[in-house]
Amino acid sequence: MSLGIFTLKDIKLNSFVDPLVPGVTCHVASIEANLSLSDPSDSAVSCRQTGEITPEMIARIKKGKTGEVVFEKSKSVFLKTLKIRRIFDEESQTLMYLSYSTRETSGSFKHSLSTVPLWGTAAYVTPRPKTGTVQRSDSAKTQSF
């Protein structure tokens, strides 16, 4: 999809099915520059449940705080790559899909986030409250990768 007649940049749309959780499909929009050695780092990701998600699928994925890369696309000859990483938030029973560029652009690493809750699927497990802690509804959780 062209951005207009006065630019050599296009919006490219890709879709992929999560290889370990085939009940999730992600759509990625990114900018590609014609006649350039490097594409812009901007991208967006949107993932949705498009089929069954089972406990067996969730058992196969990495559960660490950094998750695992499920999609990768080169964006330049200068080692810039668009990656999408799946991270499982066990506490909220949600799959997070983080899209990011591996190279800093204009002082920022471009990124986008989409989530797929397991609520209503066969894979949903009721989270257990942590013992010895007080849960507050106004608190936010922060993770670094």
| Tens digits of residue pLDDT in 113-126 | 999 999 999 999 99
Residue type at 53? I
Give the end-to-end CA distance of the chain in Å, rounded to a whole number: 33
Query: What are the residues whose beta carbons fall under 8 Å from the beta carbon of 57, sequence distance 6 or more?
Result: 20, 21, 22, 23, 123
CA 124 to chain centre: 20
Q: What is the pLDDT of residues 63-118, one digit of tens each?
A: 999 999 999 887 555 566 889 999 999 999 999 999 988 765 555 667 899 999 99
- Dist. CA 74–CA 39, nearest whole Å: 9
Question: What per-residue confidence (pLDDT) applies to 81?
Answer: 83
Token pair, residue 80, equals 């810039």
Average pLDDT over all residues of the chain: 82
